[in-house]
């Protein structure tokens, strides 16, 4: 029986805590295993061969020029304590800590992309090339678990319990005064996407193709980051519903904000309407055949990781990155294109 390569072993790793394992499984289903790596490390602080590196992020997704950094924090919310005490405590341990970890990891990876490793002993480098900071597009994502039921109880009235978005909030001090509201966690305004344990599942269910998820993050940052405009959203699920129900130039989009408008508030309840809509049902049905592309990519990826993939005898010897580029070209197709490709493949078979 042949020994597994380090790349194969990394594909079997799922993190150390249950919440990290859940995130890794969901991410690999949506982003596919060749580009998703839990628990990556830097050699920062490693002084000798026996020392350990420093954990960078809980999940790293590198897909061409797009780099997504995930932090996963599961923190107990002290519901029996006064909200003016319990919320700041939870926020500091979950959101604020995640935001600072992500910003630090982004800074390090941009400066030292070659010093990212799959193991804490820093013996196995990341097999994919991290793009130069000149072209890379970074997205920072904090998955914070533990607030959901406390938020439902706090807001009452059938609330979903998903954190509210208020773009006027910036920095730890302002967030600590507004229970269950989030937005710009860092004082410098670096955008951090904050998803609770429910919202991250909604997103990965609706946007389960790599380009679709990336497009949502990019357009969301643009929508919420419009200069001079304050945006208030009752919960990210309503923001996602509005995005999925709005089209512009044959792409999902957020509503356009007219010139001179300085405050935008989205209504509550769009998510429930979208879930029951014929449009969503039709999309889910039409998308089913596109998962044939995912299966094909995962099948080929196993041979890339094992080093068994072959090239034409008239071409230079096998190079992993060349084969990764081939399957990435297929994975980079949005859902609509993948439906057509999978339909043609199914017909040919």
Work out the percent of the chain whose per-residue pLDDT is above 70.
97
pLDDT at 341: 93
pLDDT at 219: 97
Residue 59 · residue 72 · CB < 8 Å: yes
Query: Cα–Cα distance between 323 and 321 in angstroms, integer?
Result: 5
Region for residue 298 given its phi and psi (left: phi exceeds 0; alpha: psi -120 to 50; beta: otherwise) = alpha
Beta strands 251-252 and 247-248, pairing class: antiparallel
pLDDT at 1: 56
Torsion angles phi and psi, residue 127, rounded to 5: -70, -20
Q: What angle do CA 299, 34, 41 make, to 5 degrees?
A: 150
Beta bridge partners of 37: 60
| pTM for the whole structure | 0.93
Each residue's pLDDT tens digit, 16-62: 888 889 999 999 999 999 999 999 999 987 877 778 899 999 999 99
CA 215 to chain centre: 11
Query: Cα–Cα distance between 192 and 83 in angstroms, integer?
Result: 24
Instruction: Characterize 252-288 residue by residue with b for buried, 16 or more Cβ atoms within 10 angstroms of its Cβ, and e for exposed.
Output: bbbeeeeeeeeebebebebbeebeeeeebeeeeeebe
Beta bridge partners of 57: 40
Query: Cα–Cα distance between 85 and 148 in angstroms, integer?
Result: 17
Beta strands 116-117 and 36-42, pairing class: antiparallel
Each residue's pLDDT tens digit, 236-255: 999 999 999 999 988 999 99
Residue 105 · residue 36 · CB < 8 Å: no
Average pLDDT, the chain: 92
Containing 322, the helix (H) or strand (E) segment is helix 320-331
Each residue's pLDDT tens digit, 154-182: 999 888 999 999 999 999 999 999 999 99
């Amino acid at each position: 029986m042949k020994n597994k390569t380090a790349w194969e072993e990394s594909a079997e790793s799922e993190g150390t805590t249950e919440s990290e394992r859940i995130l890794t499984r969901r991410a690999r289903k949506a982003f596919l295993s060749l580009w998703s790596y839990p628990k990556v490390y830097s050699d920062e602080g490693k002084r000798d061969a026996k020392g350990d590196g420093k954990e960078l992020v809980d999940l790293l997704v590198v897909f061409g020029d797009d780099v997504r950094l995930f932090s996963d924090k599961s923190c107990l919310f002290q519901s029996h304590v006064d909200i003016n005490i319990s919320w700041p405590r939870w926020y500091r341990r979950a959101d604020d800590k995640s935001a600072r970890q992500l910003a630090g990891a982004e800074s390090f990876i941009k400066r030292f992309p070659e010093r990212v490793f799959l193991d804490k002993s820093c013996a196995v480098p990341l097999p994919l090339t991290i793009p130069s900071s000149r072209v890379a597009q970074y997205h920072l994502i904090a998955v914070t678990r533990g607030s959901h039921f406390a938020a439902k109880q706090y807001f009452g009235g059938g609330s979903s319990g998903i954190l509210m978005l208020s773009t006027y909030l910036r920095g730890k001090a302002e967030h600590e005064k507004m229970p269950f509201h989030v937005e710009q966690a860092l004082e410098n305004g670096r955008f951090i996407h904050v998803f609770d344990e429910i919202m991250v599942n909604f997103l990965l269910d609706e946007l389960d193709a790599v380009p679709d998820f990336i497009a949502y993050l990019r357009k969301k940052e643009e929508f919420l980051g419009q200069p001079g405009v304050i945006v208030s959203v009752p919960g990210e699920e309503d923001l996602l519903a509005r995005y999925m129900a709005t089209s512009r130039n044959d792409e999902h989009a957020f509503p356009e904000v007219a010139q001179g408008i300085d405050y935008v508030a989205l209504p509550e309840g769009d998510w429930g309407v979208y879930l029951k809509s014929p449009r969503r049902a039709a999309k889910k049905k039409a998308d089913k055949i596109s998962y044939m592309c995912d299966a094909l990519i995962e099948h080929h990826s196993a041979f890339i990781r094992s080093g068994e993939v072959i090239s034409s005898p008239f071409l230079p010897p096998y190079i992993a990155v060349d084969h990764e580029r081939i399957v990435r070209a297929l994975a980079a197709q949005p859902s609509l294109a993948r439906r057509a490709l999978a339909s043609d493949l199914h017909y040919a078979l």
